[in-house]
């Protein structure tokens, strides 16, 4: 099999500019010609093994960061957009999309924002949505979508917050089953906070912070992992203010609302990293072969927290298995999503009905396994389970979710869940897609709508499961 060529022009140019070097100076440091550097930066030539070694020696570059091609997820997003009939007359080919995503990623992102604005404008005009009348120009991408994209293209890994949480966990020995008590004492000693565990005074109360009295109230009916997470979240907002503000400034959000939403997301990220410190968590994951139930017991965390944390293990030079992770409500809406794999969740529309996460509600608390193959030929080991989130007694609200965690089949042998599965048997892999809107399969009996880029034909005298034929 031919070895995949590595093109890293954008990354090399960013490294050179960060070091404040001209192309000639950069070439001298790497012992190559200036014209060669120019070709590398414009993706006219691939990065060789010798250049990778030179980058590692001269600039302490993590070689794996060059091998990780983040353009893949951008290409998938672009393919979904160009499936719109708007571009039916002359859609760009795969090579053109690869060139756009690899050579000019900022232009690709700008085009995606433009398309989202166009799509939302059309939806609101079609529905005579009065929100459009109140919306100011340029605000057609919601704040939540802005924040979603921030984490999506950061690989869901925020290095400075992750390391800050890991340092505190080590300094305060936030390990073992008494970590909540230790964190409470730390908050009292260092920040003069009083932590109270109370019965909720509102049906959906989880955490309250009285800034005047410096009292943090936590719902006493919640499990300890949630209490720790909520206390760590509030601690992040108090102790990591400067760091979070710097991250928000660098993100350059268009609206204050997006900054506020992202601030909560960053505090949540810190809380998860404090509950499950990076190095310790990765070592434990490898030791127990990613058995999420054992890891939940080991770190005093929920399965959701463990799975979400697994999807963030993208620290340079210390990466874990690339996972995808998603949370789905009973209506089939994906309410939380991240993927470090080639499988990217649809930005528009719902998820594939053949995905095992939809069956998880039928078997609560049991981990369901699935071997799946997407239309591009990539294969995955998918795990799914469902659980309830309760916030009190009989009359308190209950939230039900299903969760999905998975990795490419090449990594399956590192997971305990693959031990009795035949991952070499073609017939064992279920054909799934991203969404019906973009799925290229012609013979799916679960299809809800035709592919948006395909023509269909309807024969009145014939009827099959799907009432049309995809041409």
Ranges of H-type helices in 19-70: 23-30, 34-41, 49-59, 63-67
Q: What is the pLDDT of residue 331?
A: 83
Q: Which residues pair with 194 in a beta bridge?
A: 215
CA-wise closest residue to 182 among 314, 287, 274: 274
pTM over 0.85: no
Digitized pLDDT (tens) for each residue of the chain, 471 residues in all: 345 567 777 788 888 888 889 999 998 998 899 989 888 888 788 888 888 888 888 888 776 666 555 566 677 778 778 777 677 667 787 778 877 877 777 788 888 888 877 776 665 554 444 444 344 434 456 888 889 889 988 888 999 999 999 999 999 999 888 999 999 999 999 999 999 999 877 767 889 999 999 999 999 988 899 999 999 999 999 999 999 999 999 999 988 999 999 999 999 999 999 999 999 999 999 999 999 999 999 999 999 999 999 999 999 889 999 999 999 988 888 888 888 887 777 766 567 888 899 899 888 779 999 999 988 889 999 999 998 877 666 667 788 999 999 999 999 999 999 999 998 888 999 999 877 777 778 788 888 777 766 777 888 777 777 777 777
CA-wise closest residue to 355 among 338, 366, 370, 337: 370
Q: What is the pLDDT of residue 69?
A: 54
Q: What is the pLDDT of residue 244?
A: 97
Q: What is the pLDDT of residue 392?
A: 61
Q: What is the pLDDT of residue 306?
A: 97
Q: What is the pLDDT of residue 438?
A: 74
The DSSP output letter for 61 is -
SS3 content of the chain, % helix, strand, coil (to 5): 45, 15, 40
Ramachandran region, residue 340 (left: φ > 0; alpha: ψ -120 to 50; beta: rest): alpha
Distance CA 370, CA 380 (A): 8
Q: How many contiguous H segments (helices) and E segments (strands) does the chain have?
A: 18, 13
The answer to whether the CB of 408 falls within 8 A of the CB of 374 is no
């Amino acid at each position: 099999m031919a070895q995949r060529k590595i093109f890293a022009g954008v990354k090399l140019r960013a490294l050179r500019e960060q070091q404040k070097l001209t192309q000639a100076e950069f070439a001298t440091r790497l012992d190559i010609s200036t014209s060669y550097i120019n070709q590398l930066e414009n993706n006219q030539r691939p990065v060789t093994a010798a250049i990778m070694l030179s980058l590692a020696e001269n600039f302490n570059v993590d070689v794996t960061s060059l091998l990780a091609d983040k353009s893949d997820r951008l290409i998938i997003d672009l393919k979904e957009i160009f499936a719109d009939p708007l571009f039916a007359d002359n859609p760009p080919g795969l090579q053109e999309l690869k060139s756009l995503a690899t050579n000019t990623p900022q232009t690709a992102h700008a085009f995606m924002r433009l398309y989202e604005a166009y799509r939302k404008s059309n939806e609101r005009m079609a529905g005579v949505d009065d929100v459009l009348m109140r919306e100011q120009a340029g605000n057609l991408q919601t704040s939540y979508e802005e924040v979603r994209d921030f984490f999506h293209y950061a690989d869901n890994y925020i290095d400075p917050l992750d390391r800050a949480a890991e340092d505190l966990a080590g300094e305060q020995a936030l390990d073992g089953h008494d970590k909540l008590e230790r964190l409470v004492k730390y908050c009292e000693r260092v920040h003069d906070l009083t932590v109270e565990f109370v019965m909720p005074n509102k049906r959906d109360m989880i955490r309250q912070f009285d800034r005047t009295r410096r009292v943090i109230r936590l719902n006493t009916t919640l499990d300890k992992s949630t209490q720790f997470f909520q206390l760590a979240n509030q601690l992040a907002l108090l102790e990591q203010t400067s760091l979070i503000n710097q991250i928000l400034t660098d993100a350059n959000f268009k609206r204050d609302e997006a900054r506020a939403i992202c601030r909560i997301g960053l505090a949540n990220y810190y809380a998860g990293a404090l509950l499950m410190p990076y190095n310790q968590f990765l070592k434990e994951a490898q030791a127990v072969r990613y058995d999420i139930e054992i890891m939940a017991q080991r770190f005093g965390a929920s399965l959701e927290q463990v799975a979400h944390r697994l999807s963030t293990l993208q620290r340079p030079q210390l990466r874990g298995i690339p996972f995808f992770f998603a949370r789905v409500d009973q209506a089939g809406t994906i309410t939380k999503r991240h993927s470090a794999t080639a499988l990217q969740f649809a930005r528009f529309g719902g998820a594939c009905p053949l995905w095992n996460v939809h069956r998880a509600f039928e078997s609560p608390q049991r981990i369901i396994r699935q071997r799946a193959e997407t239309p591009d030929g990539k294969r995955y080991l998918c795990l799914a389970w469902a659980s309830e989130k309760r916030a009190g007694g009989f009359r308190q609200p209950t939230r039900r979710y299903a969760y999905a965690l998975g990795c490419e089949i090449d990594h399956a042998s590192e997971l305990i869940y693959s031990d009795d599965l035949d991952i070499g048997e073609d017939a064992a892999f279920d054909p799934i897609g991203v969404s019906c809107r973009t799925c290229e399969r012609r013979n799916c009996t679960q299809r809800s709508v035709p592919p948006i880029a395909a023509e269909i034909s309807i024969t009145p005298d014939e009827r099959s499961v799907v009432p049309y034929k995809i041409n």
